Structure 1
Amino acid sequence: MQTATIRPARLFTVEEANATLPLVKAITLDLQRLAEDLLERQQRLDALGKGRKADQSDPYQDEVEQIQADLETDSKQLETYVEELRELGAEPKGLAEGQVGFPAMIDGRIVYLCWKLGESEIRHWHEIDAGFSSRQPLTEEVGAGPSETLGQDFHEEG
């Protein structure tokens, strides 16, 4: 199996990624709250629906259908929040945990600068194909300081 090359539309410096955090934090907080709420409501609906058949004579059928419609509407709002982050160049990583990755170049390879709700600034990074649990602290050697390769717009030629 061949691994696809990740080509983000934008690469961030640590400073650029940190500068987006006020907006990213607001979107991520809304996203996290809605994701948790959706999961909880879906689990309750699933529990209520166990052993029940959809039946028009069921006095709760209209209510169940309204809950399902509300879940669908809120799922679309969740997708809107995700798209807002992506339009900024950030990549949501863990919706319930409020984790966000910012594509960056470190040592000639594309990685994610990583941040999560509750952190005041970006202090970690991880490989593109590694999870958030594999994040490593930023140091001067790996991009915490000025770099010529960080922060450029990246466009695939061809």
Structure 2
Amino acid sequence: MEGKWFTLEEANALLPQLKEDLRQLQLLAEQIEHHNLKLQKIKVNHEQRSIAHAGQDPFFELESKLDFMQMEANLLINNFARKGVLLKMINPGLIDFPSVLEGEDILICWKEGEERITHYHGWHDGFMGRKQLPDDSR
């Protein structure tokens, strides 16, 4: 893999900023979901009434807002990649950091709610393959 490789210390040092970035992304995701549900309800009501608005798109404003929010979410998601980390899940937050342990390429991982990074897994193991980091690496 090309890209950044993290020591445990570097990953833990980056964690406070990543937690803040994640929280912003989670709030934005909630807003997108809320506005999307609102748009779907408006569309259903509009179809049921079948009122024609000559030359007007009754959904334009809300659809535009959703498009903008999605672009903002994509920017936040891309910020994780630019920092060299792998955002695996937004809610609950799950972040992996490429690393090396005893000569083996691994992913040290953090799950939302954990104070610091204490686990890792192989590249193909996923979250279910998490193992506690050896004491000498913490």
**Band the TM-score falls in, shorter-chain normalisation:** 0.7 to 0.9
- Equivalent residues, number: 135
Q: 2:135 aligns with which of 134, 140, 147?
A: 140
Aligned pair 1:121/2:122, yes or no?
no
TM-score (norm 2): 0.81
Deviation at 1:120, TM superposition (A): 1.4
- Pairwise CA RMSD: 2.6
2:17 corresponding residue in structure 1: 23
**Equivalent residue for 1:97, pick from 92, 97, 106:** 92
Query: Which residue number in structure 2 is paired with residue 57 of structure 1?
Result: 53
Counterpart-to-counterpart distance in 1, 2:51 and 2:70? 25
Considering fraction of residues, name the structure with more helix. Answer: 2
Q: Which of the pair has the greater relative contact order for Cα pairs under 8 Å at 6+ separation?
A: 1
Between the aligned partners of 1:70 and 1:133, the Cα distance in structure 2 is 37
Q: CA deviation at 1:40?
A: 3.1
CA deviation vs aligned residue, 1:35-85 (integer Å, no higher than 9, x gap): 222123223323443472897518x943x2211111110111111111211
Tell me whether 1:67 sits opposite 2:55 in the alignment.
Answer: no
| Distance change in 2, residues 1:57/1:10 (3 Å) | same
Which residue of structure 2 lines up, in the alignment, with residue 33 of structure 1? Answer: 27
TM-score, normalising length: structure 1: 0.72
- 42-51 vs 10-19, greater mean Cα deviation: 42-51
- From 35, 44, 47, give the equivalent of 2:38: 44
Q: Which runs of 5+ in 2 are unaligned?
A: none
**In 2: Cα distance, 1:8 partner to 1:117 partner:** 26
Point out 4+ residue stretches in structure 1 off by more than 6 angstroms: none
CA distance in 2 between partners of 1:47 and 1:106 (Å): 51
Deviations 1:22-44 (A, max 9, x none): 21111111111112221232233
Tell whether 2:87 aligns with 1:108. no
- C-alpha deviations, 1:102-123, integer Å up to 9, x for none? 1111243322111133221111
Against the structure 1 CA distance between its residues 36 and 91, is the aligned structure 2 distance closer, same or farther, given a 3 Å change threshold?
A: same
Instruction: Answer with 108-117 or 24-33: which moved more.
Output: 108-117
